[in-house]
Each structure stands twice: as structure tokens, then as C-alpha cells.
């Protein structure tokens, strides 16, 4: 029979037991979190996840020739819950993010191979992953093809790499929160998102939501920022800034003002049951908190490590 080492044989026994207990509590909390939220009753990753793509898999038929754009998205399963990302391209002046421009001599009006040509064009920009045609739409100024991207699994270095492949620094995978609420992406200074992109999603709001085959809608994560000293471990750590909510992980809501030699983690946050700190009666009923520090800086405080997922690291 295997016996548990005594404290004398293992001076770290209590510490190890505490870590194991915290891991078990984390899993129990995750299960309870799903049960308590009607919108997340059955978010099993084994169930198919869907995005409502305009004109899904239909042959692209455009009323007239217009400049072509590609809206490419991916559904990722590596967060606490499934989430959406959309590929954007920065213009030459680094002033705005837009959909990817697709060169087409006829503006997509008469090309029989338009779907294949668009996929091949994007495949030249990605060395890995699977790209497929998903749908189409148009606005007053552009014809838009919609492609789906599936990233090829690859090994990542913990705390230093993010799982999102991009062709170059001129591209960025944007979250739904950045597209609609922030209307900009921090890389490392905020760069505006084009009105073409914003209006596209305003007209297609269901494209921003993920559902499973039981029509359960998944939580949409927000963006938060976490500062890391240049020579420190690339990870997040608990702090106790307020005794009433205990030890939490704190993220800036707005891009923080930092000194040089600082790294900013741009991260997705699954807030769950969010509580306004001034009005909370039972802190145990909340998964995260919204608060304002004494210096008027607004922050999110999350209870659990699994509620965050790094998207990028910004070197200041």
C-alpha cells in the first residue's frame, strides 16, 4: 500500500496538499459556474459549436462589382468556454484595422472560382492551419467573402507564446469585445477599427455569438490588460487589494499607463457572474468584480486562473 509521506519526510506536504485542494476547488467551481448560469447550462466542448455566418456556404452572388474584402474568423476551444476571433489587417500608416483586402479584377461579379481563389490567397499568408469558404455578404462599398480558419495544433511555450497564428505584425486576431465595444485594438498603442468592420457586425449581430446544437449561447469574453515587469515570469498572480473580496487576479479595463521595460498582457476574460463592488451583498455569489481603485483606475478582479486567456504580449 502506498503511504502518504509524513511531514518529517516531506516538509512541503501541507503546501502540496493545499495546491491539490485548490485545483479540486477550481474544477468544482467551474462545474457550479456552468450549472448556475442559464446561458451556459451545457457548454461541453464535445458538442458542436456554431456561428451564424451570413449566407452560409451559399455561392457568392454579388449585385455589382465592388472592391473585395475577406472576413476570416476562427472558433477556438482553448479558453474556459468557446470563443470567436476575427482576422484584421492594419493599413500602411498604422492608423486603422480593416478586413483583409482581396485583389479581384472583376470585383467578384463574374468569377466562377471566387471561393477557391480567396482560400488560396489566404493560404499564402498562413504557413499552417485549414482555411475554408463559409459565406458572403456585401455593403454599399464592398463585396465581402467570409472564410473560416482552423489552427493546426502546435506546441506552445507556457506563459510566453499565444496560440494565435498571424502572417505578420500587420495582422491581428480581434475579439468580439474589441470589435463592438472598444472599437480599437492595443498593439501596443490603441489602433482604431474601421467603420466598415464595425458596421458589418452591427448589421450581423448574430455572427458575434456562439451557440451549440441545443441553441445554448456561450458567454462572450471581454478584454483586460495585465502588466508584467520585463524580467518577471510571464504569468498572472493573485493580489489582495481589498479584504472584502479576498485574493484575486486584477486586470486593467483600459490600456494602462506604464513605464518602459514593461510587458502588457492583452487577455480575454470570462467574467461569469460580475458584481459591482459597491453593491455586492454576497461576494461568494460572484465570479468576478468591477471596481475602481483609489487613484480612479478601473479594474476587473477575477477569482480563478481559468477565467483568463492571453491573446498577445505587448512590449513597451
Q: Is there a contact between 159 and 174 (Cβ–Cβ < 8 Å)?
A: no
User: In the beta sheet, which residues pair with residue 298?
Assistant: 292
Q: What CATH number has the domain spanning 49-212?
A: 3.90.79
Q: How confident is the prediction along the chain (316 residues), in pLDDT tens digits per residue?
A: 333 333 334 444 454 454 445 545 555 544 544 444 444 444 444 568 999 999 999 999 888 889 999 999 999 999 999 999 999 999 888 889 999 999 876 666 667 789 999 999 999 999 888 999 999 999 999 999 999 999 876 544 444 445 467 878 899 999 999 999 999 999 878 999 999 999 999 999 999 999 998 899 999 999 999 999 888 899 999 999 888 898 999 999 999 887 777 899 999 999 999 998 877 778 888 999 999 988 899 999 999 999 999 999 988 7
For the stretch 271-298, what's the b/e string if a residue is b when 16 or more beta carbons lie within 10 angstroms of its beta carbon? bbeebebeebeeeeebbbbbbeeeeeee
Where are the chain's structural domains?
A: 49-212, 222-315
Amino acid at each position: 500500500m502506498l503511504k502518504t509521506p509524513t511531514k518529517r519526510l516531506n516538509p512541503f506536504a501541507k503546501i502540496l496538499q493545499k495546491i491539490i485542494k485548490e485545483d479540486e476547488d477550481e474544477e468544482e467551481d467551474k462545474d457550479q459556474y456552468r450549472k448556475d448560469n442559464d446561458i451556459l447550462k451545457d457548454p461541453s466542448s464535445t458538442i458542436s459549436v456554431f456561428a451564424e455566418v451570413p449566407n452560409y456556404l451559399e455561392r457568392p452572388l454579388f449585385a455589382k462589382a465592388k472592391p473585395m474584402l475577406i472576413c476570416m474568423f476562427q472558433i477556438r476551444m482553448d479558453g474556459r468556454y468557446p470563443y470567436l476571433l476575427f482576422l484584421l489587417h492594419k493599413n500602411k500608416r498604422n492608423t486603422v484595422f480593416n478586413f483583409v483586402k482581396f485583389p479581384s479584377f472583376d470585383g467578384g461579379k463574374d468569377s466562377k472560382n471566387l471561393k477557391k481563389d480567396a482560400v488560396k490567397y489566404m493560404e499564402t499568408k498562413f504557413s499552417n492551419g485549414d482555411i475554408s469558404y463559409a459565406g458572403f455578404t456585401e455593403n454599399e462599398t464592398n463585396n465581402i467573402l467570409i472564410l473560416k480558419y482552423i489552427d493546426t495544433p502546435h506546441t506552445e511555450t507556457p506563459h510566453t507564446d499565444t496560440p494565435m497564428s498571424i502572417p505578420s505584425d500587420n495582422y491581428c486576431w480581434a475579439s468580439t469585445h474589441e470589435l463592438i465595444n472598444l472599437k480599437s485594438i492595443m498593439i501596443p498603442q490603441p489602433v482604431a477599427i474601421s467603420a466598415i468592420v464595425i458596421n458589418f457586425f452591427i448589421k450581423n449581430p448574430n455572427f458575434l455569438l456562439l451557440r451549440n446544437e441545443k441553441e445554448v449561447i456561450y458567454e462572450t469574453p471581454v478584454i483586460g490588460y495585465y502588466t508584467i515587469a520585463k524580467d518577471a515570469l510571464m504569468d498572472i498572480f493573485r493580489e489582495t487589494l481589498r479584504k472584502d473580496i479576498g485574493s484575486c487576479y486584477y486586470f486593467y479595463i483600459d490600456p494602462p499607463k506604464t513605464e518602459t521595460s514593461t510587458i502588457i498582457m492583452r487577455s480575454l476574460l470570462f467574467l461569469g457572474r460580475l458584481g459591482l463592488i459597491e453593491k455586492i451583498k454576497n461576494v461568494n455569489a460572484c465570479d468576478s468584480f468591477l471596481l475602481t481603485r483609489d487613484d480612479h483606475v478601473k479594474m476587473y478582479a477575477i477569482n480563478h486562473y481559468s477565467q483568463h486567456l492571453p491573446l498577445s504580449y505587448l512590449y513597451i
